[in-house]
């Protein structure tokens, strides 16, 4: 319920019923124009009280900017609708042409009142949590063309000292948010599958590896990669996102079992990849643009090996992106076998320890990713054992292993 002092301003924004002190307000779609799905013209106190009662929280200005830009790099004078197609942002340009205002009230990072905000959710009562800004001085307006068209930019911001700070007949809006729970597979961080604080011994295989794609000499897999949380970039995890034309459709689209072992003379890597469509039309250093296995290995001396293995239109291809010389590629044995009936691609790779500079008892970091290209136009996403190889190099995030003596 809003106070009667709001009656004059709210008349063009909301339908009002009842008399003081029991007035009720609801979205008003009259007046000759569409008012949208909610009540406009709310003050900070109005929106914050409702948000606390609904067990939500205010949105920060950095969250709003991320909702607009998504994973894209920022560019000067950037303007556009939400990358993730978050509702409400698509109307900013329309309002600019109508010379009306649709500002978003967000928690600012520009002063102490805003930076105190810790993201606490409301408790089901109108009383605000202690970390929330008590009034509009802890907020900043985003997307408000009333004062300058520049405020429509993705990073455009309008200080509350120069904008209408309280209830106003212009279309000042309120947006509430809620933090995704731990374990969320859509927006959550990469799973900690192999904790880096634990050194894992590389299994000694019972018999030599034959690189034939059969995988019958391997035991239990090191890991199974099959969840939405393993898919990168994040926007490819679900269908509903506007910029994702062909997202991951589940484990039958792409998933993998990863194997790692040693036969005493070589490090052996294998994978059984479930993939509904196999495509790779590339050569040389482009083979990782199609369906491929890419592995990274960093030795205790800091030497990084970066290799890709793929079944291309021209046959099996092994390419080295990083490493010390060509000894590993020349001495390696490998195979990639595609079974279209079973929708499975099997990879095997045998890398001589001496050529890689590895010895028994030595620690090393290891990582592997699998790219998915369904139509020959290049991969749109990948699944990964751990972060640090694709989408931004950070070998410090590779899981750690040690060669058994």
> pLDDT by residue (tens digit) across 314-332?
999 999 999 999 999 999 9
Q: State the pairing for strand pair 381-384/292-299.
A: unpaired
Backbone angles phi, psi at 44, to 5 degrees: -60, -45
> pLDDT by residue (tens digit) across 38-63?
556 678 888 899 999 999 999 999 99
CB 349 within 8 A of CB 295: yes
Residues in CB range of 401: below 8 A, 6 or more apart? 199, 200, 201, 202, 260, 363, 364, 365, 366
Which residues is 141 bridged to in the sheet?
105, 158
Question: What six digits make up the tokens of 149?
Answer: 């068209």
Distance CA 373, CA 368 (A): 17
pTM for this structure? 0.67
Q: For the chain, how far is it from start to end, CA to CA, in angstroms? A: 73
CB 312 within 8 A of CB 336: no
Q: Which fold has domain 199-403?
A: Immunoglobulin-like (2.60.40)
Distance CA 302, CA 27 (A): 62
**Residue boundaries of the structural domains of the chain:** 40-177, 199-403
Distance CA 329, CA 81 (A): 47
pLDDT at 187 (0 to 100):
61
pLDDT at 174 (0 to 100):
80
Which residues is 15 bridged to in the sheet?
26
What's the Cα-to-Cα distance from 63 to each of 60, 104, 123, 212, 241, rounded to whole Å?
5, 12, 21, 50, 17
- The segments of the chain whose pLDDT lies below 70 read 1-16, 25-41, 88-102, 144-150, 159-172, 183-191, 238-245
What's the Cα-to-Cα distance from 324 to each of 120, 154, 187, 232, rounded to whole Å?
51, 44, 38, 29
Distance CA 216, CA 306 (A): 26
pLDDT at 46 (0 to 100):
86
The answer to whether the Cα torsion of 66, 71, 73, 75 is positive or negative is negative
Residue among 343, 334, 333, 284 at smallest CA distance from 312:
284
Residues in CB range of 159: below 8 A, 6 or more apart? 110, 140, 141
Distance CA 61, CA 58 (A): 10
């Amino acid at each position: 319920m809003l106070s009667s002092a709001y009656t004059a301003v709210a008349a063009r924004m909301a339908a009002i019923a009842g008399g003081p002190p029991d007035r009720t307000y609801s979205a008003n779609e009259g007046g000759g124009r569409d008012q949208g799905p909610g009540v406009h013209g709310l003050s900070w106190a109005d929106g914050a009280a409702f948000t606390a009662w609904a067990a939500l929280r205010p949105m920060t200005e950095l969250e709003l900017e991320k909702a607009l830009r998504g994973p894209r790099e920022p560019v000067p004078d950037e303007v556009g609708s939400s990358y993730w197609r978050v509702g409400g942002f698509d109307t900013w340009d329309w309002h600019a042409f109508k010379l009306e205002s649709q500002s978003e009230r967000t928690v600012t990072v520009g002063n102490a009142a805003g930076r105190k905000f810790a993201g606490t959710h409301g408790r089901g009562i109108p009383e605000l949590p202690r970390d929330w800004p008590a009034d509009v001085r802890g907020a900043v307006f985003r997307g408000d063309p009333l004062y300058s068209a520049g405020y429509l930019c993705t990073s455009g911001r309008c200080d509350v000292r120069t904008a209408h700070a309280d209830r106003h007949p212009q279309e000042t809006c309120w947006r509430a948010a809620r933090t995704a729970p731990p374990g969320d597979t859509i927006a959550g961080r990469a799973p900690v599958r192999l904790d880096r604080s634990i050194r894992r011994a590389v299994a000694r295989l019972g018999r030599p590896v034959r690189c034939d794609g059969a995988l019958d000499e391997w035991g239990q897999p090191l890991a199974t990669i099959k969840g939405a949380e393993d898919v990168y970039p994040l926007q490819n995890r679900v269908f509903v996102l506007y910029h994702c034309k062909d997202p991951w459709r589940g484990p039958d689209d792409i998933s993998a079992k990863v194997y790692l072992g040693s036969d005493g003379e070589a490090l052996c890597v294998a994978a059984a990849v479930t993939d509904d469509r196999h495509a790779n039309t590339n050569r040389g250093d482009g083979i990782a643009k199609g369906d491929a296995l890419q592995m990274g290995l960093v030795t205790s001396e800091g030497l990084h090996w970066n290799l890709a293995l793929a079944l291309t239109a021209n046959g099996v291809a092994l390419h080295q992106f990083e490493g010390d010389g060509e000894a590993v590629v020349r001495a390696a044995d490998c195979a990639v076998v595609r079974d279209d009936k079973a929708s499975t691609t099997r990879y095997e790779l045998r890398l001589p320890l001496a050529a890689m500079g590895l010895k028994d008892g030595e620690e090393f970091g290891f990582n592997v990713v699998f790219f998915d290209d369904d139509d020959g136009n290049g991969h749109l996403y990948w699944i990964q054992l751990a972060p640090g190889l694709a989408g931004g190099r950070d070998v410090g995030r590779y899981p750690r292993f040690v060669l058994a003596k």
